[in-house]
Each structure stands twice: as C-alpha cells, then as structure tokens.
Amino acid sequence: MDAYLELTDVEIAFPTPTVPFVAIQNINLKIAKGEFISLIGHSGCGKSTVLNIVAGLYQATKGGVILEGREVNQPGPERAVVFQNHSLLPWMTAYQNVELAVKQVMKNASKGEIKDWIEHNLKLVHMDHAMHKRPDEISGGMKQRVGIARALSMQPKVLLMDEPFGALDALTRAHLQDSLMEIQNELNNTVIMITHDVDEAVLLSDRIVMMTNGPAATIGEIADIKLTRPRNRVVLTEDADYNRYRQQVLSFLYEKQAKTEL
Ligand SMILES: Nc1ncnc2c1ncn2[C@@H]1O[C@H](COP(=O)(O)OP(=O)(O)OP(=O)(O)O)[C@@H](O)[C@H]1O
C-alpha cells in the first residue's frame, strides 16, 4: 500500500521520578489517503497518546511519523483535531469560531471568499441555521458539529478525532455518525478516530486498529472492514459480515485483552 501517513516504530516514554514510563511501543501503521481508521482499546492504553503524536502535540521518544513524505514534529493546520469536548470559544458565535480557523489557512482570500467558505462548512454539518449562536445557546451535538466544521474548514490532510461523540446521547451520536459518513463520502478525508464504541468503529471505519493494554501498549490486531458504502446502521444489524467484525473486536477487547481490575 502507498502510505500517505506512516507511523514507524513509535514509542513514547514519559519521565517519572524513577524510571521512565513507556506508554506505547512498536506502533507501526501505514494509512492510505482517504482511509478512515478507528483506534480502539481499553481506557488508559494509549490511544490519545498515539493521536497526540500524530497531531504533533507529543514527541515520540523513538520512531516517528511521516505525512506525505515529511516528518511530523509539531502541530500544524494540515492535521486538525476534534476533541470530545468541543473546545469552542464561548464568547464567539459558531460562525466566528469557524472564522478563526479559516483565517489561519486562507490568508490571501477576500472577505467574500472567507464568508462563503465558512458558510459552506457550517452547511456541511447542518449548522447553517444556527451559525450566529454562541456555544451556550446550542446543544452538545450542535457544538460537536461546529467543532467538526471548524476542523474541516482548514482542509486538513488528516482529521484527528478523539472520541468526538463520546459525550453525546445515543440518538444524537447516531445522527452525527451519519453526518460524518455523508461528509466522508463527499470529501474523502483521511481520518483517525478514537472510540470506545464497537458499533461506531465498525460502522464508520475502513480499518479498526485494536490496541493492547498498557503499559508499553501496541497494536494487537487490525480488522479490515470490507462493508460496502454507503452503510446503513439498520440494514447492517442483519448483515453477517457486520456481526462478524463486531464479534472480532468484542472478542479482542473482552477476551484477549480482558481487563481484570476496575
Ligand atoms: N503527558 C503525560 N505524562 C505522563 N503520562 C502520560 C501522559 N499522557 C498520557 N500518559 C499516560 O500514558 C498512558 C496512556 O494514556 P492515554 O491518555 O493515551 O490513554 P487512552 O487510551 O487515550 O485513555 P482513555 O481511553 O481513558 O482516554 C496512561 O497510563 C497515561 O497515564
């Protein structure tokens, strides 16, 4: 496979008063352009650490990350991050929050072009009707939509999502998953998404990367999700392949990597 994003032998050892704490080790992963990858694993195994290294927020102590032939060693707008808690600026409207990101990447554009682009991205996530509202005037799901619009508006090479729907109720979550699939169908982004939700991982991903328990966590298994797109959650519940993938991930998490402590 032609790797667009490549993690090679990635390891990170966090300093402690005694010996360094090796959180993740031997992480090797080649990701193609347009691929949707989910990272799944028990709490504390190192999923966010992997994402933070790709975001350039953490430096690997061994190995490294290459994106389109260039080493990643600091944050950059070509790798946009969506966090679980929206992280919108509370005193700004949805429009202004997206504008802040757009102005970073469209430095030579006219006012009209910038406005059109902000509105286009808010429309993509179905937030154009509430674009002049501030975060405290919209629901949790709507805030996540704005966060996604803000990330997409930078036209990142890679979209990094750290449990983007983790704080939402099941129905809102399902709506956002469907929106994300529509957007993905249109834009063909390269995505790495952390999730704890097995159904979400199978529904959205091209591949599910399953991490072993830490310390020194690594990739245990990778499931190649060959379900045709577009995918429909209701139809899939009856699909034998869907259920087989689901079973594979559940078996990894609760049998092979079962956690005994609470
Ligand atoms: N900056 C840091 N300094 C020291 N240790 C850290 C740091 N960041 C993460 N760790 C440790 O690395 C391990 C992996 O943490 P990480 O947050 O990546 O796990 P996770 O799989 O994302 O967890 P969760 O699913 O609960 O969010 C944990 O033991 C954590 O305590």
Domain boundaries, the chain: 1-78+158-261, 84-155
Residue 218 Cα to ligand 1 middle (Å): 13
Residues enclosing ligand 1, CB less than 6 A? 14, 21, 23, 41, 43-49, 214
Pocket test for ligand 1, best of 49, 85, 196, 219 (most atoms within 8 A of CB): 49
Looking only at the bridges linking them, the beta strands covering 36-40 and 207-211 are parallel
CA R_g for the chain: 19
Pocket test for ligand 1, best of 10, 39, 48, 209 (most atoms within 8 A of CB): 48
Determine the Cα–Cα distance for residues 259 and 261; give it in Å rounded to an integer. 6
Ligand 1 atom 29: the closest Cα is on which residue?
44
Q: Which residue's CA is minimally distant from atom 17 of ligand 1?
A: 48
Question: Atom 30 (ligand 1): residue with closest C-alpha?
Answer: 44
- Closest residue by Cα to atom 9, ligand 1, is 49
Query: What does the block give as tokens for 133?
Result: 């509202």
- Residue 180: name the closest of 36, 4, 23, 26 by CA: 36
Q: In what order do the strands lie in the sheet with 70-71?
A: 21-31, 5-14, 62-67, 70-71
Locate the ligand 1 atom nearest the alpha carbon of residue 194 and give its number.
22
What's the pLDDT at 199? 97
Those residues of the chain that have pLDDT short of 50 are: none
Instruction: Give the pLDDT confidence score for residue 62 in this predicted structure.
Output: 97
Give the atom of ligand 1 at the shortest distance from the alpha carbon of 16.
4
Residue ID of nearest Cα to ligand 1 atom 10: 23
User: pLDDT value at position 87?
Assistant: 86
Which amino acid residue places its CA nearest to atom 31 of ligand 1? 44
Q: Is the ipTM of this complex over 0.90?
A: yes
Per-residue HEC secondary structure of the chain comes to CCCCEEEEEEEEEECCCCCCEEEEEEEEEEECCCCEEEEECCCCCCHHHHHHHHHCCCCCCEEEEEECCEECCCCCCCEEEECCCCCCCCCCCHHHHHHHHHHHHCCCCCHHHHHHHHHHHHHHCCCHHHCCCCHHHCCHHHHHHHHHHHHHHCCCCEEEEECCCCCCCHHHHHHHHHHHHHHHHHHCCEEEEECCCHHHHHHHCCEEEEECCCCCECEEEEEECCCCCCCCHHHHCCCHHHHHHHHHHHHHHHHHCCCCCC
CATH 3.40.50.720, applies to 1-78+158-261:
no
Mutate to test the pocket of ligand 1, among 16, 45, 52 (most ligand atoms within 8 A of CB): 45
Which residue's C-alpha comes closest to atom 23 of ligand 1? Answer: 44
Rounded to whole angstroms, how far apart are CA atoms 99 and 92?
10
